[in-house]
Structure 1
């Protein structure tokens, strides 16, 4: 005897403890797998729960979409052809396949909306579907309100103003480890030179601190390893009274300034303002 649908839904809500935004049949496979497997998917919060079918009350596996870095359409939409998306997460690459472009566009809309906390600018959905999507966004924002971006701290008085003479770089050799004011990862090189150095010498580390193109500022070049290969990222570093601020995307605090491995903050600010937790240049 099959379990009533409402009982299944209630059990799933209890198990996951997350609001349901969208659901439906889909196929999924990892990039290293050959064939797709059928699932019934539920997007609850920013997590995609996968069930063997729509009668199973406990999920078989789940995908944490908070770790989504990109969602790409494999080929242009075709009205009566299946749609395949490639989702790149921090630790794996997953492909999702939907029966048609309409269903695929709804999945894409909901996934990107809950992950980015905003509705994508270009969606091919009907007005009623957009209203439901807005309701899901409002609910997700209440569940996980965005972190307020802290204001950029004032420029320290001991530093010259931005209108002063341009930044004077150090010689193009590695600074002495005996110097207390200059970290060992600082090189007076350009962005292109820093990327070339990291690419050519991965065994020596993945981060270089360098002069910024903006006067009296610094920049950080990072070589980050991802499932699809190494990626170069560059960040501006601004001086403050309590240390240094790395400008990222949304607010995030860390105890001390370390190479950024996840773009989670507009400013990375030490929780402990003591000198031991400040990067000195």
Structure 2
């Protein structure tokens, strides 16, 4: 039972981790080979992955279109005839064969777009297919911003500067053409690079460094062999078209990142670029609350305090002594802030005595008036009686 194409597509996307632009059946061979081999091709990113059929999970071969120099049409554009293209790469030449010219024209448009990072000027495609090429070009520009720029000369390290030159600063042209260096590049000598790889194997096993020859680089790596660990050094020569890896069969690539990629592929990804590990924090501390600042109202001016020593007040004996506790039947009368205790019984006696005197005085006046009235009445009565007796006689 064949595997679902959707499942196969998801597996391939997980393995390659690249966006899919175009796919279909095609034939491929090297220029030195006689017969074409049929494959199912998928153009993901700038790489053409070749599978034996459309149900295979992992690719059999792949073609790196970043190294594409030219793409020539070997057969005339005629209807109902296979189309053959010759692709010239930095490392090899190969041929692709499509069943008909229409399919070949679509493949040519996608291959040149991802390889040259531009849409070819003369294409016999439908408007919808041209829109797909524009979307592909936009995705490639976002995915690979450098757009295969021409390689530039590497900077000269400090230990290789001429001793007689008074000005060590690079010229404006050299500053403008400074290359994009990988993270595993270090401005060290061969001996220092070998020492770094031996003493810190956990940081990686590949170091890019300047070469002792002008305008060149070198690569130092450490790998395990049957006879034990071995440190090797490779020369990278800068050219107008890229960098040449000086091997038995020289290999030309377009950038230093491609140099690193080539060594990783050839060593089966058992090696890793040398990157110094950075320390990380393990605790999170709470930040203090921000102070409230008034934006509308102006900030009040702070008057500096006088630098005067504080006065020490000596306490008197009266202040030091605790106040006397009030006795029974006493109450507190406030007088100018002071508290005085007054005897309740003596004051009540005084009040009663004063009221008694007033009462007696009032009573005496009333009795005197009554006595005077009684006396007057008696006198008047006696006078009348005497007058009556005298008149009768």
**Alignment pair present for 1:67 and 2:67:** yes
Cα drift, residue 243 of structure 1: 4.3
Report the counterpart of residue 97 of structure 1 in structure 2: 97
Q: Deviations over 1:226-276 (max 9, x none)?
A: xxxxxxxxxxxxxx9614848xxx9845756246335369xx9xxxxxxxx
- Higher strand proportion (structure 1 or 2): 1
Report the counterpart of residue 25 of structure 1 in structure 2: 25
Contact 1:48–1:65 (8 Å) recurs in 2: yes
- TM-score w.r.t. length of structure 1: 0.57
Q: State the distance in 2 between where 1:14 and 1:86 align.
A: 30
Matched residue SS, 1:111: helix
Larger RCO, structures 1/2 (Cα 8 Å, 6+ apart): 1
Q: State the distance in 2 between where 1:147 and 1:54 align.
A: 31
In our comparison, the structure showing a higher alpha carbon Rg is: 2
Q: State the distance in 2 between where 1:251 and 1:75 align.
A: 43
Q: Deviations over 1:128-183 (max 9, x none)?
A: 1001111111111111123698xxxxxxxxxxxxxxxxxxxxxxxxxxxxx999xx
- Higher helix proportion (structure 1 or 2): 2
Residues 244-255 of structure 1 correspond to what in structure 2 (within 5 A)? Answer: 245=173, 252-253=179-180
Shift of the 146–27 alpha-carbon distance from structure 1 to 2, 3 Å rule, reads: same
Report the counterpart of residue 188 of structure 2 in structure 1: none
Contact 2:141–2:147 (8 Å) recurs in 1: no
Cα drift, residue 110 of structure 1: 0.4
Matched residue SS, 1:79: coil
Report the counterpart of residue 107 of structure 1 in structure 2: 107
Two-structure CA RMSD over aligned residues (Å)? 3.2
Contact 2:20–2:42 (8 Å) recurs in 1: yes
**Alignment pair present for 1:242 and 2:209:** no
Report the counterpart of residue 79 of structure 1 in structure 2: 79
Shift of the 105–86 alpha-carbon distance from structure 1 to 2, 3 Å rule, reads: same
Q: State the distance in 2 between where 1:147 and 1:3 align.
A: 37
- TM-score w.r.t. length of structure 2: 0.41
Matched residue SS, 1:97: strand
Q: Which runs of 5+ in 1 are unaligned?
A: 150-178, 182-239, 269-281
Shift of the 6–253 alpha-carbon distance from structure 1 to 2, 3 Å rule, reads: closer
Matched residue SS, 2:239: coil
Contact 1:27–1:36 (8 Å) recurs in 2: yes
